[in-house]
Every structure is written in C-alpha cells, then in structure tokens.
Amino acid sequence: MEKKEAVLEVKDLSVIYKSDLETVYAVNHISFSIEKGETLGLVGETGAGKTTTALGIMRLLPQRTARFTSGEILLEGVDLKNLSEKEMLKIRGEKVSMIFQDPMTALNPVLTVGDQIGEAIFLHNENNLSKKEIDQKVEEMMEMVGIPKERKNEYPYQFSGGMRQRVVIAMALVCNPEVLIADEPTTALDVTIQAQILSMICDLQRQYQTSVIMITHDLGVVAETCDKVAIMYAGEIVEYGTLAQIFTGEAHHPYTTGLFGSIPSLTQNTRRLHPIEGLMPDPTNLPKGCKFAPRCEKCMEICRQEAPQVSINDGHQIRCHLYMKKEA
Amino acid sequence: MAKYTIKRLLYMIPVLFGVAFLVFTILSLTPGDPGTIILGITAKPEDIAALNAEFGYDQPFLIRFFNYIGDIIFHFDLGTSYQSRQPVIEDIIARFPNTLKLTIFSMSLSAILGISLGILSAVRQYSKLDHICVVTALIFASIPGFWLGLMLLLIFALKLRVLPSYGAGTLRHFILPTLTVSMTSAAGLLRLTRSAMLETVRQEYIRTAKAKGASEKRVIWKHALRNALLPVITTLGTSFGASLGGAIIAETVFAMPGMGTLITTAIRQKDIPVVMGSTLFLATLFSLIILIVDLLYAFIDPRIKAKYQSGGKSRG
Amino acid sequence: MVKKKTRKHAQLAEIWRRYRKNKTAVVGLVILMFILFIVIFADLIVPYSKCIEQVGAERLQPPSLQHFFGTDEYGRDLFARVIHGARYSLFIGVATSLMALVIGAILGASAGYFGGIVDNVICRIMDVFMCVPPILLSLAVVAALGSNLRNLIIAITISCIPGNVRLIRSVVLTVAEQDYVEAAKSYGTNNARIIFRYVLPNAVGPIIVNTTMAISDMILSAAGLSFIGMGIQPPSPEWGALLSSAQTFIFSSPYLLIFPGIFIVLTSLSFNLVGDGLTDALDPKLKD
C-alpha cells in the first residue's frame, strides 16, 4: 500500500480547562493522523477527552476556560491553532464539519430544516449560487440522506430523532468537507436506526472521499466503520493502530483488553463479562505514573512511578510499561 | 391558527365572567349599604331604603351580580356613582385616555430599553458594560416607582424647572411620569432578556450553527435572538399589567387625572360602583392584552403555531 | 446518619463558597444585615418615644446633629421614625411573601402533582386572578375591607398568590417528570413521601430565590399602597406613609422624601442582590 498524505494531522495536542479553582487536564499530548477517505475511530469512556479533542479541532472550545497547552492541528499542512477566528469561519463547515451526539437538541427549533441545511451552503458560497440553486442543492442533499425533499419547510420538532440526525448529517456534508467529525452520532438513537445512519455515513464518505473521525465508545461501531483506531484513556491515546491491529493483534494495552472484556461476545461462550474495576482518575489530579495504573490488573511498581513512553511495532503504538520492557 | 384564536377567544368568556364575579364579590364585602353611605347614618330610614332600592341593593347578592352583568352586556352600563349620581362609564371615558397613553408610552420605552440592553449585556457577558447593566437593573428594580417619580419631580420640575410637575395637558406632561413608570419594568425586562439570551447561547443548536461556520454575529442575530425572545414575549402581558399598576401610582405623584386617581378618590369616598366599574374595565383590558400576547407568541413559535394548524397532530 | 449530615454540611459550604465569590451578592448580604440590625435593635438606637414626640419649636428642621434626618411638620425626629419604620416594611415584606409562598405551595404542588381535575380547577381559578393586575386586586381588597396593616397584608398576599401557584406548579411538574421520581414511584413509594422526599427538596432552589426576590417586590408594593393612602395610615412611621405625608413639603423640605426613600431602596435592593446571588450559588450550571 502506498503511503498517502495525511489530510489532518494532530501532533502532541494538549488541552486544559482552567477555572479559578481547578485545572482539568482534558487532553494530554495526543497525536494521530487521517488520510483522505479514511476513518479513524476515537474510542474511550465518557470523560476520556474525545469530545474535547473534536471541539479543539473545530476551535469551538469554551473560550473562557479552555486553553491549548501544546501541539499542532495540521489541516492540509496549516496549523488551525494559529488561525484567526475569521479564518476559522472558512474552515468550519467547509473543510471540517461536525455531527453532534444528540440530534434532538442540535437543530434550531425556530428555523425550518431546509433553512438550516441551506445556511451551510450560503455561508460558504464560493460559486455564488443563487437562492434557487441553493434551494435545489438542499433538496438534492435531503434526498441523498433519505429525507423527502417536500419536508424542507418543516421544523425540527416535526422530525423523529433518526430523521433529525439525517438533517444534521446533510448539513455537515453539504459543503463536501475534507474532514467530518462524528461525535457519537448514533448513541442517542434506536439500535435499528443506528445501523441505517452508520451505513449512510459510510456510503456518503465513500462517495465524497471524506475523511472521518468517528468518536464512539461502542467497539461494534468501530469494527464496522473504521480503518484506524485510537483508544483514549484520561486524555491520552493509550493504543493506536489499524483496525486489525487493535481487534486481532497480539499485544494490547491492558485498558484495551479490558474494553474488549467488557462486551458480551456471541462467538465465545463466556460465562460473565470482565468489566474494568474502578473509575477513571480525577482529571484535575491525574496519577503521576501511568494514568491507568490504579485500575490495571498488570500494574507493576514502575507504572506508579513513571509515565510510560509509546512503543511502536509496525505502526501499532502502545503506551505501556509492559511492552517497553520487552524492547529493552 | 384561526382555530387556536377562536378557542382562546371563547375561553375569554368564562374567564371574564370569573373576573367580574371576583371583583364583585370582593367589593361586596364593603360594610354599609349605598343609602347609608350617601345620606349618612343620621338620615331617615325610609330615605335610605328608597335609595337602596334605587341602586338595587334590596336584592340578594347573586341577583345583584347578574343584574350588574346584564347591565354591562346589554346597556354598556357599569353602574352609577354614589357621589356624582352619573354613570360610571362617563368618568372612565374621561379619565382612561391619560392612563392608556401613560401605559403605552411606558411599555414602549421599557421594552426598547430593557430588551436591547438585555441583549447587549448578554452578548458581552462578563464585560464592564454587562456588569454595569446588571447592577443598574437591580438598583432600578429596587426603587419604588413613586419615589423615583418624586425625585424626578424634585430635580426636573422644581429645581431645574424644565418640565411641568403636574397635569396631563401636553406630551411634555408625560415625560416624567413615563420615566417613572418605565424604569422598573425596563429593569425587569433587561434581566429577563439577558438570562434568556445566555440560556439560549448555551444550547447545542448554537454550537451546530458555529460548526457550520456561522460568525458570532450571525449566530446571535439569526439563531439565538428569536429563541431568546420567546420567553420575553410571554412576559410582555405581565409587564403591561405592571406598567398599568405603575401608572395608577404615578398619577398620584403627578396629579394626573387618570384611572388611578379616579379609583383612589372613589375608595376614599366609599364610592364602590366607581371602584368596581373601573377595576372591571381595566381587568378586561388587561385580559385582552394577555390574549393578544399569547396569540403573538403562538405566531412566532413554530411549535405552537403548527400544533394548531394541523389540529394538534405532529408527526413523530 | 453522620455521613448524611456532613454531606449536607459540605453542600452548604459549597453554596456559601460560590455565594462569597459574587461581590455584589456579598454587598447585598451586608446591607441586609444592616437592615436586620436596625429592625432588631431599633429601641436601643433611638427610643420609640422620639418617633411620636412632637416638638412645636422644631418643625421642619433640616438635617443636623440633633436630628440626623431633620424633623417633620409636627417637629418629630425623622431619624427615629425611619429607624422604627423599618420594622413595618420588613415585617410586611416577609409576612406577605411567606403567606403567599405557603398558599402558593399548597395549591401549586397539588395542581402539579395530582394533575387532572385538581390541576384544572386550580389553574382556571388562577387564570381569573391573573387577569386582574395585582395592584387593582390589592386596591379592591383595601376598598372593601378598609386600609390598615392587616388588610394591607391580605391585599398584597392575594395579589401575588397566582404567580406563586404557577411557579411552584411548573417546578413540581419538571421535577415530577425526572427519572428518579419515576423510579421512586415504580417501587411503590407513596405520594406524600415522594412529594416530601424527592419533589420538594429538588424544587427548593428556585423557590428560595423567588421568595427572596418576592420580599423585595412586596416591600415596594406595600410602600406604594401606603403612599397613595391605601395602606398603613399616618402617623404610623411606615416608610410609604412617611413619604405620603412628606409629599406636601417636597419643595421646602426635600430631605423628608429623600431619607425614607433611600431606606426603601436599600432594603429592597438587599433582598434583590441576595436573591440574585443565591440564583447563581444554588444553580452552578447556570454559570459557565
């Protein structure tokens, strides 16, 4: 396989939330990259820093509290961190767009869905489309995501959750962005609808060659949609590799092993699940060694003292002392 | 929409009937009968009885109530004043325009000031301007309207002598009373608009709009404002009532011949028909305003509008 | 049990910590303490006799060291009258708000919790009350019953019941819809227990804030009604009544209007500031 150029490259990114009382270390030195048309799964528990990463890329973090403390966000070689707000307006929606978790609250209740999809075109109207042409494009896009175009003058409350998520997807893809960030796009939906929405996102992605960051805590979703996977824990990427490396590879970060142990399997006859004991560490007061050490079954003395470095094996990255030792 | 309007109009009938009953019942608790009130306790009992019969006071309570309602509906007659022996409606017609003018001026001023400053304050949250707006609003919300009126009177009419201190002859007469009445409700509207706006910009759809690439300005004007104004509109009816109340008290400060001075004078003279007629008149007006505000709200919020257009059904 | 107590304690400490951060709210609390001090120790500050003592030779004296706030048209010391008047305003404000709260809570909570016909009847009656502007309702009550302290309290309380019923009903409705209430219902907890254990504690925040702010409104309404002669009558040193009789002397002795007015504003402002501070302190999610 030839090495393609990365569309989006995140290098050593850290984000903190600082209030006058405490500092939350939400994202700590994470790096990943996505090539054209590729899907990266960002997997982890609630509070692992997935959404912060996404909002950081969009530069939509709360201005008063959030700060980048290190790293770069390179979109086609340009660091988004250095762009002005005005320049970011041209990026958002056009180059990078985002789908949010809860379609019930993601749409403006007093504007019609047609207006809301059309607004995305209007805001990035480089071809100077007329009102009529925008309208036409809205209708095309609606049909593409499976909503009858006659419904464009209806308001969000007239749509079900799944239909609303289709509207949100139409809105995100209508400008044909380079990167689509999907923040748990199916978590709030019924299981049957989830599959429809996921396959629709995949179809559209193939059609437009969009790169996707799929944020989820559902390993099933990852298996179905992703090419690469990054497992996040307490603001760090603890394991990073191709879908095959993560799902079938031999060496794994204990947290990844734990995650897989937490899902029921149909093929293996397991008696009971093996959930990971304990809770995520307090992000205002992270352990000084390995962040996962307090919950790790294979925790060693060094894990409590020293933060592990990343060991790389054929692109498969694991941040764990277990594997560092082997190398040495 | 027509269906909703008709439904709301029909509902007004029992409500107004209830209002009339409430006011009539409260005021019927007044001790003494019209004969004694007008002629005094020293008058001859037969004269008192004759007068009571003239006012229909010899009838039982419920009959009197239905007679009163009947007179209003069929003869547009709100009763007869004990003092002047003239129909109450004539007093109202003479006094009401001043009160209405004052209320409308005050409402407009407070809506313009309160809503625009409230938006500005929310948009620049944590700024110096925001801080000043919030504190000033809290202070104005704590100043009794009548005292503000007295202070304005002291400064502008008595010390600086730039504005008239009493009466209602020209528009200039309305400047000080309008300021007096509007400041309190402007303060309330500012606080409400600000918090509604802050609540709205925290909503997820605002983030969606930003993710589309909408600028801060566009997000505020196109996405946040309409949603934020919905709760503000619902309170416009109440703030009309507050302005009306403020006007009633301000009339005393500025010796303005209006409904407020009419009612307070009537209360002092125990002229119950005037109190009753005026109160009912203003309460009816207020109910209509509330109705209009509700209809306006339904017109602006698509969720309510469509609910009634499609006969209450909404697609899931 | 001990654990529960400490948790409650920690919660209060957290609220107080958030409250303290808000400077204007702290200012409000200080003013409120000052007013409360006056109300409690009025007799020690200046004896009540000074309020009624008429000194013919000292009529309408401007403020001086003998009479901090000057004297009125009967030669009574305005400072003494303002200090003792604080009791009226505060008493009326607190009494009416609490009465309206209790009545509003009973009606609003039953309407919200039981729904159906109870809700319907209560709401329809409140609709009628809501159609009469509060001041007219108060005036009608005063017209019928006469103007004195007791009737003023009744008049003001009645006029603010409908708002309270609406507020508490909506709060109860929101809380009753929460999952934890559903859960409590599902394992057979009885109504009274649900209301007292789950619904009311969670509705306390907005109710405390609303009542604090209501005290301020009530103080203003009472002063307003007294001012137009429909509340407490002179010679009682109630602030609205003081202003009512001082109106005649607006040009010659404006200090008669200024001092009582400032005290009304301060008292009302203190409740507004405290209420505003509590809004943020009790509901941290409202702040970013």
Q: Which helix (H) or strand (E) holds B179?
A: helix B172-201
Residue B81 lies in a domain: no
Per-residue 3-state assignment (H helix, E strand, C coil) for chain C: CHHHHHHHHHHHHHHHHHHHHCHHHHHHHHHHHHHHHHHHHHHHHCCCHHHHCCCHHHCCCCCCCCCCCCECCCCCEHHHHHHHHHHHHHHHHHHHHHHHHHHHHHHHHHHHHHCHHHHHHHHHHHHHHHCCCHHHHHHHHHHHHCCCHHHHHHHHHHHHHHHHHHHHHHHHHHHHHCHHHHHHHHCCCCHHHHHHHHHHHHHHHHHHHHHHHHHHHHHHHHHHHHHCCCCCCCCCCCHHHHHHHHHHHCCCCCHHHHHHHHHHHHHHHHHHHHHHHHHHHHCHHHCC
Query: Shortest Cα distance from B214 to chain A (angstroms)?
Result: 7
State the pLDDT at residue B314.
Answer: 36
Interchain CB contact of A108 with B (< 8 Å): yes
Do the chains contact at C227 and B22, CB–CB below 8 Å? no
Residue B23 lies in a domain: yes
Please, which pLDDT band fits residue A326 given cuts at 50, 70 and 90? Answer: low
Please tell me whether the interface predicted TM-score (ipTM) of this complex is above 0.95. Answer: no
Query: Shortest Cα distance from A65 to chain B (angstroms)?
Result: 13
**Angle between the C255-282 and B128-142 helix axes, to the nearest 10 degrees?**
120
- Do residues B114 and B71 both lie within one domain? no
Interchain CB contact of B205 with A (< 8 Å): yes
State the pLDDT at residue B311.
Answer: 42
- B20: pLDDT strictly greater than 80: yes
Mean pLDDT, residues A245-270: 78
Among C residues 229-288, those touching chain A with beta carbons less than 8 Å apart: 288
State the pLDDT at residue B49.
Answer: 86
Nearest Cβ partner for C136 among B146, B198, B282:
B282
Interchain CB contact of B42 with A (< 8 Å): no
Nearest residue of A to residue B301, measured between CA atoms? A110
State the pLDDT at residue C202.
Answer: 72
pLDDT (tens digit per residue) in A157-209: 999 988 999 999 999 999 999 999 999 988 888 888 888 888 889 998 998 89
Among B residues 84-123, those touching chain C with beta carbons less than 8 Å apart: none
- C99: pLDDT strictly greater than 70: yes
Compute the distance between CA of residue C72 and CA of residue C242 in angstroms, rounded to an integer.
Answer: 9
Nearest residue of A to residue B223, measured between CA atoms? A108
Q: Which fold has domain C2-286?
A: MetI-like fold (1.10.3720)
Residue B170 lies in a domain: yes
Touching B (3+ Cβ pairs <8 A), the chains are: A, C
State the pLDDT at residue A288.
Answer: 85
Do the chains contact at C229 and B268, CB–CB below 8 Å? yes
- Domain total in chain B: 2
Among C residues 225-264, those touching chain B with beta carbons less than 8 Å apart: 227-230, 240, 243, 247, 250-251, 254, 257-258, 261, 264
Nearest residue of B to residue A172, measured between CA atoms? B212
State the pLDDT at residue B306.
Answer: 62
Disruptive mutation site among A110, A134, A155, A179 for chain B (greatest number of B CBs within 10 Å): A110
pLDDT (tens digit per residue) in C182-235: 787 777 777 777 777 777 777 788 888 889 989 999 999 999 999 999 999 888
Compute the distance between CA of residue A32 and CA of residue A26 in angstroms, rounded to an integer.
Answer: 16
Interchain CB contact of B215 with A (< 8 Å): yes
State the pLDDT at residue A269.
Answer: 60
Do the chains contact at B213 and A120, CB–CB below 8 Å? yes
Interchain CB contact of B313 with A (< 8 Å): no
> Number of B:C CB contacts under 8 A?
149
- A61: pLDDT strictly greater than 70: yes
Q: Is the dihedral of CA B19, B21, B25, B27 positive or negative?
A: positive
- Do residues B59 and B174 both lie within one domain? no
Q: Which residues of A touch C (CB under 8 A)?
A: 62, 64-65
Average pLDDT over chain A, rounded to an integer: 88
Sketch the domain layout of chain C as residue ranges.
Answer: 2-286
pLDDT (tens digit per residue) in C122-132: 999 999 998 89
State the pLDDT at residue A63.
Answer: 86
pLDDT (tens digit per residue) in A64-115: 889 999 999 999 989 999 999 999 999 999 999 999 888 889 999 989 999 9
Chain A residues with CB under 8 Å of B221 CB are none
- Do residues B114 and B55 both lie within one domain? no
Nearest Cβ partner for B205 among A108, A112, A159:
A108
What percent of chain A has pLDDT above 70?
94
Interchain CB contact of A115 with B (< 8 Å): no
Interchain CB contact of B223 with A (< 8 Å): yes
- Do residues B155 and B285 both lie within one domain? yes
Beta bridge mates, A213: A40, A181
Residue B213 lies in a domain: yes
Sheet (strand A310-313) strand order: A96-99, A179-183, A211-216, A39-43, A228-233, A236-242, A316-319, A310-313
Please give the angle made by the CA atoms of C152, C157 and C158, to the nearest 5 degrees. Answer: 105
- Do residues B44 and B153 both lie within one domain? no
Residue B148 lies in a domain: yes
State the pLDDT at residue C260.
Answer: 94
Chain A residues with CB under 8 Å of B301 CB are 110
State the pLDDT at residue B315.
Answer: 34
C158, C142 contact by CB (below 8 A): no
Identify which has the larger pLDDT, C121 or C52: C121
- Do residues B133 and B233 both lie within one domain? yes
Interchain CB contact of A98 with B (< 8 Å): yes
Chain A residues with CB under 8 Å of C288 CB are 62, 64-65
3-state secondary structure of B87: strand
Radius of gyration for chain B, computed over Cα atoms and rounded to the nearest angstrom? 24
Q: Which of B16, B41, B75 is the last residue of a domain?
A: B75
Mean pLDDT, residues C236-240: 91
- Do residues B280 and B178 both lie within one domain? yes
- A306: pLDDT strictly greater than 90: no
Identify which has the larger pLDDT, C65 or B143: B143
- Do residues B110 and B61 both lie within one domain? no
Beta bridge mates, A74: A9, A79
State the pLDDT at residue A284.
Answer: 86
Threshold 0.90, pTM exceeds: no
Please, which pLDDT band fits residue A272 given cuts at 50, 70 and 90? Answer: low
Chain B residues with CB under 8 Å of A92 CB are 210-213
Nearest Cβ partner for B205 among A106, A123, A158:
A106
What percent of chain A has pLDDT above 90?
51
> Number of A:C CB contacts under 8 A?
3
- B55: pLDDT strictly greater than 60: yes
pLDDT (tens digit per residue) in B225-270: 989 998 898 888 888 888 999 999 999 899 899 999 999 999 988 8
Query: Shortest Cα distance from A173 to chain B (angstroms)?
Result: 10
Q: What is the residue range of B159's domain?
A: 92-315
Query: Shortest Cα distance from A205 to chain C (angstroms)?
Result: 36
- Do residues B44 and B179 both lie within one domain? no
Query: Shortest Cα distance from A42 to chain C (angstroms)?
Result: 27
Nearest Cβ partner for A106 among B208, B301, B302:
B208
CA distances from A54 to A28, B212, C277 (A): 14, 14, 35
Query: Shortest Cα distance from B201 to chain A (angstroms)?
Result: 11
Residue (of A209, A207, A204, A165) closest to A184 by Cα position: A165
State the pLDDT at residue A131.
Answer: 92
- C1: pLDDT strictly greater than 50: no
State the pLDDT at residue B108.
Answer: 93
Query: Shortest Cα distance from C203 to chain B (angstroms)?
Result: 19
- Do residues B122 and B237 both lie within one domain? yes
Identify which has the larger pLDDT, B19 or B39: B19
Mean pLDDT, residues A261-288: 74
Mean pLDDT, residues B289-297: 88
> Number of A:B CB contacts under 8 A?
83
Phi-psi region of A44 (alpha: psi -120 to 50; beta: other; left: phi over 0): left
Mean pLDDT, residues C250-260: 90
C-alpha dihedral, B279 to B281 to B284 to B286, nearest 10°: -70
Pair of tokens at residue C256: 């008669």
Interchain CB contact of C23 with A (< 8 Å): no
Chain B residues with CB under 8 Å of A160 CB are 316
Residue B83 lies in a domain: no
Residues 6+ apart with CB under 8 A from C212: C271, C274, C275, C278
- Exposed, middle or buried, B274 (CB in 10 Å: 0-12/13-18/19+)? buried
Touching A (3+ Cβ pairs <8 A), the chains are: B, C
Nearest residue of A to residue B226, measured between CA atoms? A110
Identify which has the larger pLDDT, A268 or A154: A154
pLDDT (tens digit per residue) in C158-184: 988 998 898 888 888 877 777 777 787
pLDDT (tens digit per residue) in C7-39: 778 878 888 888 888 888 999 999 999 999 999
Average pLDDT over chain B, rounded to an integer: 88
State the pLDDT at residue A328.
Answer: 44
State the pLDDT at residue A38.
Answer: 93
Query: Shortest Cα distance from C288 to chain A (angstroms)?
Result: 8
Q: Which residue has the tokens 């594997």?
A: A323
State the pLDDT at residue C96.
Answer: 95
Nearest residue of A to residue C21, measured between CA atoms? A20
State the pLDDT at residue B316.
Answer: 30
Compute the distance between CA of residue B204 and CA of residue A317 in angstroms, rounded to an integer.
Answer: 35
Touching C (3+ Cβ pairs <8 A), the chains are: A, B
Do the chains contact at C223 and B144, CB–CB below 8 Å? yes
Residue B87 lies in a domain: no
Interchain CB contact of C155 with B (< 8 Å): no
- Do residues B24 and B132 both lie within one domain? no
Identify which has the larger pLDDT, C200 or C74: C74
Nearest residue of B to residue C220, measured between CA atoms? B144
Q: Is the dihedral of CA C133, C139, C140, C145 positive or negative?
A: positive
Mean pLDDT, residues A112-140: 92
- Do residues B113 and B155 both lie within one domain? yes
Pair of tokens at residue A259: 């995650």
Please, which pLDDT band fits residue C105 given cuts at 50, 70 and 90? Answer: confident
CATH number at residue B113: 1.10.3720.10
Mean pLDDT, residues C148-165: 92
A236, A71 contact by CB (below 8 A): no
Please, which pLDDT band fits residue C285 given cuts at 50, 70 and 90? Answer: low
